[in-house]
Amino acid sequence: MEDNYTYDNEPAVGSEGTGPEPVNDQSDAAAAAATAAAATASAAAEDTYDTSAVTEASADTQAQDNGQMGQAGQTIQPEQPGQAYGQPGQTGQTAPPPYQPYQPYGQTYRPYQSYQPGRPWQPYQPVQPVYGQPPMYGQPPVYGQPPVYGQAPVYGQPPQPAPMPAAPDQTDAEPKAPQNTDGQLFDEKDFAAGTVPPFAQPGQTGQPVPPYGQPPIPPYGYGAPVYSPAPGGGAPADPVVPPLSEAVPQRKPHTAVLIICALVVVGLLTAVMLLLARNEKEHPSASTSSTGSSDAVNVTIEIDKRPADDKSDYADEASGLFTVEGAAKYIRPSTVSVYCYLESSISPYASGSGVIISEDGYIVTNAHVIEDVDRVNIQFYDDTKTEAKVVAFDKRSDLAVLKVNKNGLTPAVMGSSSDLSQGETILTYGNADGFESTATIGIVSCTSRQIDSYSGYPIDCIQVDAALNHGQSGGPVIDMYGRVVGIVVSKHYATDVENIGFAISTDFAKPVIEDLIAKGYVTGRAMIGIHYSLITPDQAATNGTEPGLLISSIIDGYDIANTDLKPGDIITEIDGRAMNTASAIKTIADDYDPGDKVKAKVYRKDPLKEEEGEVFEIEFTFGELSNDD
């Protein structure tokens, strides 16, 4: 336990300070004589210290007024009679406050230090005091020295400590505590009678040593006592010790209360058990069985049988209108999954879907699915696989035709996209991201929507809101009559955009598919007969030329080869239409048929000459695009 000290000294006033006249427990006459002798000795003494042991008998003649506090065999005397005393062991300082009654604070019992002149200090045993070292924070105080927190006290020049008397041997004999006149330990009666001298901190002069081996009364742990001056300026009053309080007997719980609590607990447990038993009777579906040391709960879940469905796959069998289930079942055998490989690849390079259009193995899909691949495999709805051959494909329309060497297939029924109505229910089917035979349902959002194909040419489509996923390109879009009304081609990707998908309308796809099978290319498309590069208006302004079609070569066999046009010329207009954008070039062929005659404006400039270029006009006839072009 940490030793706590409390000091309530009056302010120091140096050697000329005044304070209450110190007195001891002797008579007034004896005190005056002792004070006069102490003053005479103090006046003749120098600030020196005799290091030899000083006995109590020679203390009057060898006393020094500034010896270190707590040195054995020395007498502390004031400089003048009646002068105040200061810190323990110092002369010429204000005396500590007189005694006051104890105040119990729950701390270590440390009485206030008070010295009386003319009495030697007796060391406390068995603890040996350490001289010349002040107590610090967190360290036990050294008996016989005042505690100074954080720094050593400076009392002029500190004297050298005198040899300490040897401590009595405490190893064999148990020290005895002080006893009263009856030969017994001090008790409450002694304190009440005032016969017990005040206890003091070990090492204080004029006070008895605290009992050893017996807790004092009041016991240690009551904190530092506070002293008050005695009435009339006499000797300090003995500390007022409050009587010990009688032990408060602990109340024991009444037996009846314990019995009532036990009955309540038993009643609650009984009620819980009855509720559990009742619940088991009302809900016997879950049975509990115990096997060995573990409990297993066996629960049987009954599966309800679906009522017999006498309906067919038709919503209206007379008209051929399918239910959604009937439409999905109807289109399934006519849909295939398409897997494309490069020459050295093991895993598919691309995947898509396809629609069987003939029993002998013709399959329609998208051109962007099979373009630039070396091998194509087909997987049917029954998981059989075979290799397919690319018959032809058209990048403008994004359509392609495949052929498998297999007969007896189930072709899809083709319908007209012009028969569709906005809001009509449709169903898609295909290889959605590797999940074969995936069906999604939606409605027709728009019956006719023109979009650009992956090659940039316009194609006619229907817009649907059914879910379309990677791998469904080339798959069918069917109406509720089971007819294919579109070929899935793309979906609209944009932030915060959902359910905008497109399928090439069958009315647009039918002639293309037939031409690809019959001739290997699409017939009836107008062809100028040139190879060119587009010069945009920005490029023309930068290079000091005109925007249009920069001719790189002329294809033999076309009528334009018979005009004055030559490589390096720029066609700026065809039939009054400016040819300075990609879309203008792509639409010109769709607006004219082979055999149509048109006029074109041409800009020519010799790059080796600085003169202005010339503009002239030509006339030619559109040819027909062939498979070789």
Does residue 97 sit in the same domain as residue 216? yes
Please give the single-letter amino acid code of residue 282.
E
Residues 428, 361 share a domain: yes
Q: Which one of 478, 493, 518 terminates a domain? A: 518
Q: Whole-angstrom Cα distance, residue 470 to residue 353?
A: 10
Is 583 part of a structural domain of the chain?
yes
Residues 74 and 158 in one domain: yes
* Stretch 241-267: mean pLDDT: 71
Q: In the prediction, which pLDDT does 178 show?
A: 54
pLDDT at 213: 53
When pLDDT is cut at 50, 70 and 90, the band that residue 243 belongs to is: low
| Residue 232 pLDDT greater than 80, yes or no | no
Same domain as 609, residue 476: no
Which has the closest alpha carbon to 402: 423, 424, 382, 379? 379
With the CA atoms of 69, 75, 77 and 82 taken in that order, what torsion angle do they form, in degrees rounded to the nearest 10?
110
Q: What was the pLDDT predicted at 113?
A: 44
Decide if pLDDT at 615 tops 80. Answer: yes
- The answer to whether residues 498 and 606 belong to one domain is no
Q: Compute the distance between CA of residue 515 and CA of residue 505 in angstroms, rounded to an integer.
A: 16
> Could you tell me if 498 and 540 lie in one domain?
no
Domain membership of residue 257 (yes or no) is no
Are residues 326 and 201 part of one domain? Answer: no
Q: CA-CA distance, 620 to 629, in Å (whole number)?
A: 18
Residue 203 above 70 pLDDT? no
> Which pLDDT band holds residue 181 (cuts at 50, 70, 90)?
low
- Rounded mean pLDDT of 479-483? 97
Is residue 169 located within the same domain as residue 22?
yes
Predicted local distance difference test score (pLDDT) of residue 392: 96
Domain boundary among 467, 497, 518: 518
Question: What CATH code is carried by the domain that includes residue 545?
Answer: 2.30.42.10
Is position 276 within any domain? no
Assess whether pLDDT exceeds 90 at residue 500.
yes
- What is the pLDDT, as a whole number, of residue 256? 84
Residue 180 has what pLDDT? 59
Quote the DSSP letter at residue 222. S
The reported pLDDT for the residue numbered 401 is: 98
Q: Which of 54, 28, 29, 53 is nearest to 41 (CA)?
A: 54
Q: Taking residues 587-602, report their average pLDDT.
A: 90
pLDDT at residue 254, rounded to an integer: 73
Same domain, 416 and 539: no
Domain extent for 599: 526-624
Within a domain: 446: yes
Number of domains in the chain: 3
Residues 477, 538 within the same domain? no
Neighbours of 301 (CB within 10 A): 5
Instruction: Name the domain boundary from 242, 270, 285.
Output: 242
Assess if residue 265 is contained within a domain. Answer: no
Q: Using CA atoms, how far apart are residues 416 and 421, in angstroms rounded to an integer? A: 11
Per-residue model confidence (pLDDT) at position 609: 80
Residue 494 in domain: yes
Whether residue 250 lies inside any domain: the answer is no
**H or E segment at 413?**
strand 413-414
Q: What's the rounded mean pLDDT across residues 517-546?
A: 92
Q: What is the CATH number of the domain that holds 460?
A: 2.40.10.120
- Structure-model confidence comparison of residues 612 and 367, the more confident one: 367
Confidence label for 4 from pLDDT (cuts 50, 70 and 90): very low
Q: Which of 60-64, 114-118, 239-243, 469-473 has the highest mean pLDDT?
A: 469-473
pLDDT at 588 over 90: no
Instruction: With a cut of 80, say whether residue 209 has pLDDT above it.
Output: no
Q: Is residue 623 within a helix (H) or strand (E), and if so which, with residue range? A: strand 623-624
Strand-pair category, 385-394 with 375-379: antiparallel
Pair (186, 145) in one structural domain: yes
Closest by alpha carbon to 59, among 82, 78, 41?
41
Q: Is the pLDDT of residue 543 over 60?
A: yes
Average pLDDT over residues 591-615: 90
Q: What is the mean pLDDT of residues 239-245?
A: 51
Most confident of 85-99, 175-189, 478-492: 478-492
Contacts of 262 (CB under 8 A, 6+ apart): none
| pLDDT grade for 163, boundaries at 50, 70 and 90 | low
Q: For the chain, give the percent of residues with pLDDT over 70.
A: 58
Q: Does residue 460 carry a pLDDT above 60?
A: yes
Mean pLDDT (the chain, rounded)? 73
Which are the catalytic amino acids? Answer: 368, 398, 473
- Residue 447: pLDDT band by 50, 70, 90 thresholds? very high
Residue given tokens 């309540």 in the structure block? 264
Question: Reduced to 3 DSSP states, what percent helix, strand and coil does the chain have, rounded to the nearest 5?
Answer: 20, 25, 60
Are residue 487 and residue 530 in the same domain, yes or no?
Answer: no
Residue with tokens 């879950």: 286
pLDDT at 73: 42
Report the pLDDT value the prediction gives residue 330, as an integer from 0 to 100: 96
196 assigned to some structural domain = yes
Per-residue model confidence (pLDDT) at position 140? 54
**Confidence band (pLDDT; 50, 70, 90) for 266?**
very high
Task: Region of 2 please: left (phi>0), alpha (psi -120 to 50) or beta.
Answer: beta
Taking CA atoms, 349 is separated from 297, 342, 345, in Å, by 52, 6, 7
**pLDDT at residue number 602:** 96
Ranges 252-256, 453-457, 471-475: which has the least confidence: 252-256
Q: Which of 107, 100, 38 is nearest to 74 (CA)?
A: 38
Q: Which of 63-67, 368-372, 559-563 has the weakest average pLDDT? A: 63-67
* pLDDT score of 53 more than 50: no
Three-class secondary structure of residue 5 per DSSP: coil
Per residue, the 3-state secondary structure of 98-144, as one string, reads: CCCCCCCCCCCCCCCCCCCCCCCCCCCCCCCCCCCCCCCCCCCCCCC
600 or 147, greater pLDDT:
600
Cβ–Cβ < 8 Å for 121, 201: no
Whether the Cβ atoms of residue 239 and residue 207 lie closer than 8 Å to each other:
no
Question: E-strand spans in 171-217?
Answer: none
Segment 323-353, tens digit of pLDDT? 999 999 999 999 999 999 999 889 999 999 9
Rounded Cα–Cα distance for residues 137 and 126 (Å): 23
